[in-house]
């Protein structure tokens, strides 16, 4: 999503400080961190400190230690933010990792393609006294393009009593403990977002957020609403029922697995913690003590660093290694093939895979327990039929006891450059858990146009009993989401239809005007979804209309709860919310709500 710019003037809140020349000594070893600018024949060298026994995490990771001076840490944070604040489609990727301990007077302003995370087993192991925040100063307070960043596994005590995370898609606030209040906008428009496995001691204020998913959260209070606020397994979820206020509450999260994460143990050894599956849960996984799961030593991982080829990565997978993908942009001339049960693919700093020559970027075999997390699949210039496939065609194994899960996995077609992909994500395996995905055909940036960044469908689900939390799919040229499998469940769906159909004739599904944003196949007898929004903004031709946002078979076992359609600024029309029911959303009635179907 990228709505029009809010033109109010703002002043920059954060001064950029120089990197301190003096570095901490003692048990730390001085290393040189090289930050290569993608597509340019230059490199910028900066200095940082990491533990002497740390694994080599490549040139784009900074590891901070409590013994480092505040000036050194703050200088590096400011340097990264200055580079990344407006770098919406650049090739730089960054991870800022903090070892357990206390850090005083730290101000971490998080820009594009930047992940900040603690390296403790619990968020409370790493205390930041100061701020870990996302602002929209670069866009005059409009946060609708604050994408591709994340904050994870930290405890933050804000100096002023509150912090800000003004974001939209692909910017999770995950496994955090904020000891104060949290503001989710920056005074202008905003269109996020996700809180997951997070505790906020004070109040959360959603401000202008159009929609939001809070899953397995706990807070002192919630304030705010707009079109679609969904609370799943959220302790202290606010009272009220859709559409006034537009709150959807599901008391327990039926089945989930939290995102794997990198940490250091008490002996300073690096490991990856892989959380176990939770059933019928509420609140965070960590507040009551150590969560269920297993720790994998770093030696079990192939650390993918800039320069690694697809052949190198596949060889490591074939040898039984997991993948820790460090920040960078990786071009693939062959498909990455994940075939071993329980393989972990964990990306840091929005690690990005670009398939070349029309290949599929990644396939996951129909096996138990694969976890893919923290990666962006960016379509190449030659059309890929599919960017990622989970389970081969005809997959039919039962994975209920140990499902494959996708965490903060994003897809992009166009924006950074011309991209083409017929389908972005195809899920053939059963029991898969989707834990926050943004599947996006770009509506702005480079290589954008109806005949340029071509892409039919964002998500196709063929497997049975697939569950999606925080499913964002936008701007595809046919159906955004097609669900063919039985027993599917979606908790929160956010969609924008394509902005750019040149005329109605170019966007017809047979005799039907446009394509549904979410289509459940006629053959499906059981499917359920909660908290769904679909918006139109046909800015190339305002006369374009969609017959309906949601298209489902009329069966008792297919049930939809709390749906909204919006004509943004009255630019275009969605005639009905679901099938022939509800609506319209148009220039006269921008917003249409429907509580249930059938």
pLDDT of residue 78 exceeding 50? yes
Q: What is the mean pLDDT of the chain?
A: 92
Q: Report which of 138, 183, 135, 141 is spatially closest to residue 8, judged by C-alpha positions.
A: 141
Out of 37-41, 239-243, 455-459, pick the least confident.
37-41
Give yes or no for a contact between 34 and 59, defined as CB atoms under 8 angstroms apart.
yes
pLDDT of residue 545 exceeding 80? yes
Q: For 346-397, how does the pLDDT look when each residue is reduced to its tens digit (9 = 90+)?
A: 999 999 999 999 999 999 999 999 999 999 999 999 999 999 999 999 999 9
C-alpha span between 70 and 280 (Å, rounded): 43
CB-neighbour burial class of residue 588 (10 A; exposed 0-12, middle 13-18, buried 19+): exposed
pLDDT of residue 25 exceeding 70? no
Q: Report which of 581, 442, 594, 587 is spatially closest to residue 533, judged by C-alpha positions.
A: 594
Check residue 1 and give its pLDDT: 56
Helix, strand, or coil (residue 317): helix
Question: In the structure encoding, which two tokens stand for residue 531, read together?
Answer: 């908290």
Name the band, by pLDDT with cuts 50, 70 and 90, for residue 192: confident
Backbone angles phi, psi at 70, to 5 degrees: -60, -40
Q: For 108-162, how does the pLDDT look when each residue is reduced to its tens digit (9 = 90+)?
A: 999 999 999 999 999 999 999 999 999 999 999 999 999 999 999 999 999 999 9
Rounded mean pLDDT, 540-544: 98
pLDDT of residue 312 exceeding 80? yes
Question: In the structure encoding, which two tokens stand for residue 498, read together?
Answer: 């394509």
Q: Please count the residues of the chain.
A: 598
The catalytically annotated residue of 92, 152, 474, 496 is 496
Check residue 290 and give its pLDDT: 84
Check residue 214 and give its pLDDT: 98
Rounded mean pLDDT, 518-530: 98
Name the band, by pLDDT with cuts 50, 70 and 90, for residue 53: low
pLDDT of residue 17 exceeding 90? no
- Please name the residue that has the structure tokens 């996708």: 406
Rounded mean pLDDT, 455-468: 98
C-alpha span between 469 and 494 (Å, rounded): 11
3-state secondary structure string across 418-445: CCCEEEEEEECCCCCEEEEEEEEECCCC
Q: For 410-439, how does the pLDDT look when each residue is reduced to its tens digit (9 = 90+)?
A: 999 999 999 999 999 999 999 999 999 999
528 assigned to active site: no
Rounded mean pLDDT, 53-60: 90
Rounded mean pLDDT, 185-207: 97
Out of 15-19, 89-93, 236-240, 542-546, pick the least confident.
15-19
Check residue 384 and give its pLDDT: 98
- pTM of full prediction above 0.85: yes
Check residue 54 and give its pLDDT: 78
């Amino acid at each position: 999503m990228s709505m029009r710019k809010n033109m109010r003037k703002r002043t920059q809140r954060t001064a950029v400080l120089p990197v301190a020349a003096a570095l901490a000594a003692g048990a730390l070893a001085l290393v040189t961190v090289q930050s290569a600018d993608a597509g340019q024949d230059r490199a910028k060298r900066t200095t940082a400190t990491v533990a002497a026994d740390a694994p080599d995490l490549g040139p784009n990771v900074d590891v901070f230690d409590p013994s480092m001076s505040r000036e050194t840490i703050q200088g590096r944070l400011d340097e990264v933010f200055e580079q990344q604040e407006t770098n919406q489609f650049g090739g730089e990727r960054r991870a800022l990792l903090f070892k357990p301990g206390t850090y005083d007077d730290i101000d971490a302003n998080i820009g594009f393609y930047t992940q900040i995370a603690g390296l403790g087993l619990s968020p409370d192991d790493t205390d930041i006294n100061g701020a870990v925040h996302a602002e929209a100063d670069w866009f005059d307070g409009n946060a609708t393009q604050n994408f591709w960043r994340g904050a994870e596994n930290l405890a933050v005590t804000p100096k002023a009593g509150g912090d800000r995370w003004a974001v939209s898609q692909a910017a999770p606030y995950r496994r955090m403990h904020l000891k104060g209040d949290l503001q989710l906008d920056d005074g202008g428009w905003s269109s996020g977002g996700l809180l997951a496995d997070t505790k906020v001691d004070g109040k959360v204020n959603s401000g202008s957020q159009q929609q939001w998913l809070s899953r397995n959260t706990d807070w002192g209070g919630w304030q705010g609403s707009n079109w679609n606020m969904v609370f799943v397994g959220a302790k202290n979820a606010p009272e009220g029922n859709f559409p006034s206020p537009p709150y959807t509450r599901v008391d327990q999260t039926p089945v989930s697995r939290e995102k794997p994460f990198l940490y250091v143990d008490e002996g300073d050894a690096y490991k990856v913690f892989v959380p176990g599956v939770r059933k019928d849960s509420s609140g965070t996984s960590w507040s009551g003590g150590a969560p269920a799961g297993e720790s994998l030593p770093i030696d079990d991982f192939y650390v993918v660093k800039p320069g690694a080829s697809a052949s190198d990565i596949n060889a490591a997978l074939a040898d039984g290694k997991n993948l820790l993908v460090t920040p960078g942009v990786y071009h693939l001339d062959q498909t990455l093939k994940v075939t071993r049960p329980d393989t972990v693919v964990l990306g840091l700093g929005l690690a990005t895979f670009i398939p070349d020559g029309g290949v599929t970027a990644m396939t996951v075999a129909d096996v138990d327990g694969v976890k893919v997390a923290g990666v962006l699949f960016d379509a190449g210039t030659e059309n890929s039929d599919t960017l990622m496939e989970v389970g081969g065609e005809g997959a039919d194994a039962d994975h209920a006891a140990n499902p494959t899960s996708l965490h903060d996995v994003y897809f992009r077609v166009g924006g950074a450059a011309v991209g083409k992909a017929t389908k972005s994500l195809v899920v053939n395996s059963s029991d898969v858990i989707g834990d926050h995905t943004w599947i996006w055909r770009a509506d702005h940036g480079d290589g954008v146009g109806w005949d340029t960044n071509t892409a039919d469908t964002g998500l196709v689900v063929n497997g049975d009993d697939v569950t999606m939390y925080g499913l964002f799919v936008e701007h595809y040229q046919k159906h955004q989401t097609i669900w063919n499998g039985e027993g599917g469940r979606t908790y929160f769906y956010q969609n924008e239809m394509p902005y750019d159909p040149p005329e109605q004739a170019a966007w017809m599904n047979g005799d039907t005007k446009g394509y549904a944003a979410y289509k459940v196949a006629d053959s499906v007898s059981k499917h359920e979804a909660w908290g769904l929004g679909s918006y139109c903004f046909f800015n190339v031709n305002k006369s374009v209309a969609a017959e309906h946002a949601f298209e489902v078979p009329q069966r008792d076992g297919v049930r939809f709860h709390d749906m909204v359609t919006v004509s943004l600024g009255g630019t275009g029309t969605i005639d009905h919310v679901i099938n022939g029911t509800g609506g319209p959303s148009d220039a006269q009635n921008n917003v249409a709500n429907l509580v249930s179907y059938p």
